[in-house]
Amino acid sequence: MLTLTLFDLDHTLLEGDSDVLWCEFLMDQGVLDRAEFGARNAAMDHDYRAGTVGAQEFCEFYVSTLTARTVDEWQPLRRAFLDGVIAPRIKPAARALVQRHAEAGELLVMTTATNRFITELTAAHLGLPHLIATECERIGARFSGRTSGTLNMREGKVTRLNDWLAERQIRLAECNSTLYSDSINDLPLLLAVRHPVVVDPDPRLAAEAAERGWPVISLMA
């Protein structure tokens, strides 16, 4: 049986939320206006953690920060974001967990609601060879500020995973699958895998884990 191990990113492997941190970074760089974006960014983070924000609203709010620039135009800032903001927020315990699964020869996938453009360097940095993320629409070479396809959030994470596996002629039911996640938003995928593992959970997921007898670990030490 194929061993498939899935990792959520934000508040799981990463101390913080990539989208929120990206906005803070862009405000620090003067790309976004703090007076306009600061409060909206904090409110979106709060509603996401509570599981109350709509998936489309959440994903497109953050994808909109990329509007009208190309990948090449964003690349210097994206690299600086990884090096200066993201990498220091990945704790040794998270790195060791990924390494342990990699050494076991498992199929490793990062699955995140955050868009691919922000997270693909993070996946590579962690040594995770596969990434399922929310996709950004482009018009020509430029980001439109909208998402494309099924959002990789809540039930969409299950849909996107099954589609990704089907492309490789694999069925989730035939895998010895594990998911590491912190968020109530990932409950559908946690219920779909054989081995759900809850990581530094939000209050609602902590209650679910206690009720269902799921293991709970911390990677933030």
* Residues annotated as part of the active site: 8, 10
Angle, CA 203 vertex, CA 201 and CA 209 arms, to 5°: 60
End-to-end C-alpha distance for the chain, whole angstroms: 33
Helix residue ranges per DSSP H, the chain: 18-28, 34-50, 55-63, 71-81, 92-103, 116-126, 155-167, 187-192, 203-212
Q: Which of 38, 2, 9 is nearest to 179 (CA)?
A: 9
Residue at token pair 């974006």: 37
- Is residue 148 classed as helix, strand or coil in its secondary structure? strand
Given a contact cutoff of 8 angstroms between Cβ atoms, the answer to whether 212 and 40 are in contact is no
Q: Residue 138: count other Cβ atoms within 10 Å of its Cβ.
A: 15
| 199's tokens | 């990581």
Given a contact cutoff of 8 angstroms between Cβ atoms, the answer to whether 192 and 165 are in contact is no
Q: What is the CA radius of gyration of the chain?
A: 17
- Is residue 166 classed as helix, strand or coil in its secondary structure? helix
